[in-house]
């Protein structure tokens, strides 16, 4: 009996020690989990199509956690609450925002966190929200799904217009245009020698025109220079002539002022003496004219012209 009781005590002690060790391990693991992870709620006001429990949660493209729960809000069924478990080191701040994103072409959605300026305070629990709430933004995926019907209508319109563009009539017109283009290309190929000659002549004419324009430009520049220089000299000469005339006029005025008395005496006496002299000169000229007439009449005798005829009875 004593041996059996001894074994019972040993077994009980062993079981109790094992249970204590298991409880300690579980407490330590819970403490480690609490220290390594943080829980947040994200409220979406749109459909979370493609998002499921265990879905990824990324922060600027880096995985920081996963979705733990998904359920509708008790106050408003239009809202979806996603409880996520994130790494405790994730910099979730008050200006951090969440939105849905599409993962590749698989159709699965995940949560993308953005924002979190360095100066913004960390997101903490409040009495109203023991679990911190991360606000959400409308995603491009939601906009795409919302405008799906419009996209389908637009696609149908585009297909209809494409069908009108590739109609038989348009295909025939395009074929005719290509045929005409082929004929034109063949004609150009046949006339390439003449086209080359025309191009060469055009190049020569362009070169000659450039030379002519250069010559005209040089001539115009020379003419402008010559005109400016001649005009400058003419203006200088005219200024000198005007200055000389002014000086002569001033000298004449001074001369007249200095000899005004002599000029008055000459006009009174000299003019009375000039009158008889002019009359005598006129008589002399009349006498010279008469003498010239007489000499002209006797010119035949002096030069032997027109000898007188002898009288014959």
pLDDT of amino acid 85: 93
Structure pTM?
Answer: 0.40
pLDDT of amino acid 307: 47
Q: What is the pLDDT of residues 122-164, one digit of tens each?
A: 988 888 889 999 998 887 766 666 666 667 778 888 888 887 7
Question: What confidence category does residue 30 fall into, taking pLDDT thresholds of 50, 70 and 90?
Answer: low
First to last CA, the chain: 235
Q: Report which of residues 148 and 183 the model is more confident about.
A: 183
CB 134 within 8 A of CB 92: yes
**153/301 Cα distance (integer angstroms):** 139
pLDDT of amino acid 302: 43
Q: What is the pLDDT of residues 250-280, one digit of tens each?
A: 776 676 666 666 656 555 555 555 566 667 7
> How much is the mean pLDDT over the chain?
76
Q: Report which of residues 25 and 34 the model is more confident about.
A: 25
- Alpha-carbon distances of 102 from 112, 139, 227, rounded to whole Å: 10, 10, 83
pLDDT of amino acid 102: 82
Element (H, E) at 56: strand 56-59
Question: Taking the domains of the chain in order of start, what are their residue ranges?
Answer: 37-146, 191-260
Long-range contacts of 114-119 (CB under 8 A, 24+ apart): 114/59, 114/60, 116/59, 116/91, 116/92, 117/93
Q: What is the pLDDT of residues 141-152, one digit of tens each?
A: 666 666 666 677
Contacts of 85 (CB under 8 A, 6+ apart): 37, 38, 39, 65, 66, 68
Q: What is the pLDDT of residues 66-85, one digit of tens each?
A: 999 999 988 888 899 999 99
Give φ, ψ of 125 to 5 degrees: -70, 155
Q: Report which of residues 296 and 38 the model is more confident about.
A: 38
């Amino acid at each position: 009996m004593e041996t059996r009781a001894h074994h019972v005590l040993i077994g009980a002690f062993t079981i109790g020690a094992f249970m204590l060790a298991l409880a300690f391990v579980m407490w330590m693991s819970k403490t480690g989990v609490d220290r390594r992870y943080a829980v947040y709620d994200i409220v979406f006001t749109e459909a979370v199509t493609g998002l499921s429990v265990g879905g990824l949660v990324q922060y600027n493209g880096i995985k920081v956690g996963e979705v733990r729960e998904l359920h509708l809000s008790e106050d408003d069924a239009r809202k979806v609450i996603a409880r996520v478990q994130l790494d405790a080191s994730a910099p979730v701040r008050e200006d951090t925002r969440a939105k849905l994103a599409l993962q590749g072409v698989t159709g699965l959605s995940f949560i993308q966190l953005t924002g979190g300026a360095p100066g913004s305070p960390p997101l903490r629990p409040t009495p109203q929200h023991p679990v911190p709430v991360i606000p959400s933004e409308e995603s491009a995926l939601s906009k795409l799904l919302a405008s799906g019907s419009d996209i389908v209508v637009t696609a149908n319109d585009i297909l209809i217009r494409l069908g009108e563009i590739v109609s038989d009539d348009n295909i025939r017109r395009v074929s005719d245009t290509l045929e005409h283009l082929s004929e034109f290309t063949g004609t150009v190929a046949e006339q390439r020698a003449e086209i080359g000659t025309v191009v060469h002549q055009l190049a020569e004419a362009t070169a000659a025109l450039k030379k002519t324009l250069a010559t005209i430009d040089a001539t115009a520049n020379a003419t402008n220079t010559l005109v400016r220089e001649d005009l400058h000299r003419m203006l200088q000469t005219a200024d000198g002539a005007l200055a000389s005339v002014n000086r002569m006029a001033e000298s004449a005025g001074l001369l007249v002022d200095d000899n005004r008395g002599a000029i008055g005496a000459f006009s009174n006496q000299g003019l009375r003496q000039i009158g008889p002299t002019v009359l005598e000169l006129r008589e002399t000229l009349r006498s010279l004219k008469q003498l010239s007439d007489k000499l002209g009449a006797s010119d035949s005798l002096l030069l032997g012209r027109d000898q007188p005829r002898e009288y014959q009875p």
